[in-house]
């Protein structure tokens, strides 16, 4: 999954000191053209980028990211089922509405739901990375967007944390590294604890940790 590689938090560094630095993964255009899952996964990346930058980028940059996301969605529309296509249209409409209102949180949430729709449109039997890994990314980005809003909706943040736990429950038995299991467990516990405390700073740090660990999980499942 193409994205800026984040500096891993101290929690990860203490738990997995033996792990090598995580290289950025660049998906081949040829692979994306030949593999339906790869094409859909690649189309989800601009939605992820928009979610990540919605809180801080200037509006011309957001407009460019939104245009990239729409173009990416259009490029794979024929690969999507009717239900996925309809959901994606709903999120693109919500994205346009949020942009018109200069609603940064609404922009981020519409974008991250578009990302989820595309991820879930893949064939789960052959998706690489596995869909639960990408949905952990979705959960972290949604949680983080909510944590950066002016009026924090703690109930929605709790839902994002619970969704992340459900994805991890499906993925955890397949992870061979005990150290990785331990730090992911701790990161998800931190997301829950931040919601209980209603501590915005703690929540933002917990989200950063979880998102960094998704990068590690992608590398580990690819190597297994």
Tokens 């529309």 -> residue = 77
Q: Are residues 117 and 138 in the same domain?
A: no
Instruction: With respect to residue 105, please indicate whether it lies within any of the assigned structural domains.
Output: yes
Q: Which domain holds residue 158?
A: 129-224
Identify the CATH number of the domain in which residue 58 sits: 1.20.120
Q: Are residues 146 and 220 in the same domain?
A: yes
Q: b/e string for 64-102 if b means 16 or more Cβ within 10 A?
A: ebbeebbebbeebeebbeeebbebbeebbebbeebbeee
Give the pLDDT confidence score for residue 12 in this predicted structure: 46
pLDDT digit string, tens, across residues 61-94: 999 999 999 999 999 999 999 999 999 999 999 9
CA distances to 36, 39, 64, 86, 100 from 74, rounded to whole Å, are 14, 12, 15, 12, 21
Instruction: With respect to residue 221, please indicate whether it lies within any of the assigned structural domains.
Output: yes
Q: Sign of torsion, CA 84 85 90 92?
A: positive
Instruction: With respect to residue 5, please indicate whether it lies within any of the assigned structural domains.
Output: no
Instruction: With respect to residue 207, please indicate whether it lies within any of the assigned structural domains.
Output: yes
Instruction: With respect to residue 14, please indicate whether it lies within any of the assigned structural domains.
Output: no
Q: Are residues 74 and 116 in the same domain?
A: yes
pLDDT digit string, tens, across residues 4-40: 344 445 444 444 434 433 334 444 455 545 566 899 9
Model confidence, pTM = 0.85
């Amino acid at each position: 999954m193409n994205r800026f590689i984040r500096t891993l938090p101290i929690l990860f560094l203490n738990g997995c000191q033996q792990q090598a630095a995580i290289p950025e993964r660049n998906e081949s255009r040829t692979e994306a053209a030949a593999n339906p899952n790869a094409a859909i996964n690649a189309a989800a990346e601009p939605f992820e980028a928009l979610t990540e930058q919605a809180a801080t980028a200037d509006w011309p940059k957001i407009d460019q990211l939104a245009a990239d996301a729409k173009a990416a969605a259009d490029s794979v529309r024929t690969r999507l089922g009717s239900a996925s296509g309809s959901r994606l249209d709903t999120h693109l409409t919500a994205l346009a509405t949020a942009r018109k209102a200069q609603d940064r949180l609404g922009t981020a949430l519409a974008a991250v739901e578009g990302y989820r729709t595309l991820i879930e449109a893949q064939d789960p039997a052959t998706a690489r990375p596995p869909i639960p890994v990408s949905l952990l990314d979705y959960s972290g980005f949604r949680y983080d967007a909510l944590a950066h809003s002016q009026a924090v909706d703690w109930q929605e943040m709790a839902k994002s944390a619970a969704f992340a736990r459900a994805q991890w429950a499906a993925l955890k038995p397949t992870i061979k590294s005990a150290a990785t299991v331990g730090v992911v467990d701790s990161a998800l516990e931190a997301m829950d604890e931040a919601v209980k405390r209603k501590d915005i700073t703690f929540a933002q740090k917990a989200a950063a940790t979880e998102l960094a660990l998704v990068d590690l999980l992608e590398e580990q499942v690819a190597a297994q």
